[in-house]
Amino acid sequence: MERKRILLCLAHMSADGAEQRFVKEAFDSNWVVPLGPNVNGFEKDLEEFVNTPDGSTEQPATPTDQASAACTRPAKVVALSAGTAAVHLALLACGVGPGDEVLVQSFTFCASSHPITYLGATPVFVDSEPLTWNMDPDLLEHAIRDRIAVTGRKPKAIVPVALYGMPYDCDRILEIANRYDIPVVEDAAEGFGSRFRGRVLGTFGRFGVLSFNGNKMITTSGGGALICNAGEEDAQKIMWYATQAREAYPYYQHEAIGYNYRMSNICAGIGRGQMTIVNDHIAHHRHVQQLYEQLLAPIEGITVHSQPADGRFDSNYWLCTITIDPELRIVGQENAYRHVITGAVGGAAGVIHAVDCPTTDCQPNDNVEALRVALDKANIEARPLWKPMHRQPVYRQAPAYTNGVSESLFHRGLCLPAGPYVTDDDVRYIAATIAAAIVKR
């Protein structure tokens, strides 16, 4: 009997059907619109979650608050149609426009950088440091100084990313941002529930981005939210932009360009149900990470990426990732990249933009692709790490400050299943499959 398909990360519904209950209430009350009681309730649930400390009494070594009263004034949350919409509106509220530059982590998904181009601005990519795989603070400061020297102007915003749920170094990034008076938009789309020094990611900079896509820590089927740390005024501005920027008249008056970005009451109902089990999901991901660390440790040439051990970082381990020694040989490696792929990875099933060549000038090593194929044949979904944005053809003209870290990781890395449907037996099966795929020396 063929083994079930083990998916990378798929959200899990609550056991008591809370999602269905909230959605049913929306239909019963005829609130099938992009606003309503579920949207309000979901925002309140999120505000309670992000404003709740984990009991840690450790204080930041350096000032990290961009909002002057961030420690005393609770963050406000606006529910939106997608995490990408949240990035877009946060940058807009930071004053980003045509001709501006925004410093953004290169090692990320395109949703971190595409909204910069929506606004007519230019992304300036900053490479990673090797411990967290996130934005390198030293390179960030170098980039700020150099952009000022080259353009005569400061970048308008900084966008660090919680890659695969791993916190970025909030101490150093925020200290640098504050010193140069540049707002930070935290892209915590993959880091919902991750913490730095006991504090939820997304509550350090001026704004924090969340995503509730179908493969995230919790889901609303599709959707996102923006954490507004400077208070009610920012939240009201974001909500205004997200509802087509309507003015307060008894007819439709528009004095600025707005967007249809508000979350629907139906999707928010799913989110409210998901919030009842969010801590269970986070605990499960961390448990799966521990199992991978334990089971893959004896396999020479396979390294599981783990959070730094200095006590500041608390990852949700949205995805568990490994790197593969370039010298390790995998069964079938000689056939890597022999055939043109006929589909797109990720949430683009059925969306095909045909290519005529199986390779590019920047791709994972042959042994990484061979292991991905071996896992796929065993009904295990695995994916390469994000391809750095500074190596994406669409951004070939964008400025980039690099050190080789993200590109090296892309060549060597692979994401393994970690979602709520992944059982302990599944992890053992995945580890055994990896071990079996290695050519014995």
Query: How do residues 86-127 score in pLDDT, each as one tens digit?
Result: 999 999 999 999 999 999 999 999 999 999 999 999 999 999
Domain boundaries, the chain: 18-274, 278-437
Mean pLDDT, range 129-157, rounded to an integer: 98
Domain 18-274 and domain 278-437, same fold? Reply is: no
Question: Would you state the pLDDT for residue 69?
Answer: 43
Residue 233: pLDDT over 90: yes
Residue 198: pLDDT over 50: yes
What is the 3-state secondary structure of the chain? CCCCCECCCCCCCCCCCHHHHHHHHHHHCCCCECECHHHHHHHHHHHHHHCCCCCCCCCCCCCCCCCCCCCCCCCEEEEECCHHHHHHHHHHHCCCCCCCEEEEECCCCHHHCHHHHHCCCEEEEECECCCCCCECHHHHHHHHHHHHHHHCCCCCEEECECHHHCCCCHHHHHHHHHHCCCCEEEECCCCCCCEECCEECCCCCCEEEEECCCCCCCCCCCCEEEEECCCHHHHHHHHHHHECCECCCCCCCECCCCCECECCHHHHHHHHHHCCCHHHHHHHHHHHHHHHHHHHCCCCCEEECCCCCCCCEECCCCCEEEEECCCCCECCHHHCCCCCCCCCCCCCCCCCCCCCCCCCCCCCCHHHHHHHHHHHHCCECCEECCCCHHHCHHHCCCCEECCCHHHHHHHHEEEECCCCCCCHHHHHHHHHHHHHHECCC
- State the pTM of this model: 0.95
Question: Does the 18-274 domain belong in CATH 3.20.20.80?
Answer: no
pLDDT in tens, 39-86: 999 999 999 999 988 755 455 555 556 754 445 579 999 999 999 999
Residue 221: pLDDT over 50: yes
Q: What is the CATH number of domain 278-437?
A: 3.90.1150.10
Mean pLDDT, range 319-343, rounded to an integer: 94
Question: Would you state the pLDDT for residue 31?
Answer: 86
Question: Would you state the pLDDT for residue 57?
Answer: 45
Mean pLDDT, range 137-146, rounded to an integer: 98
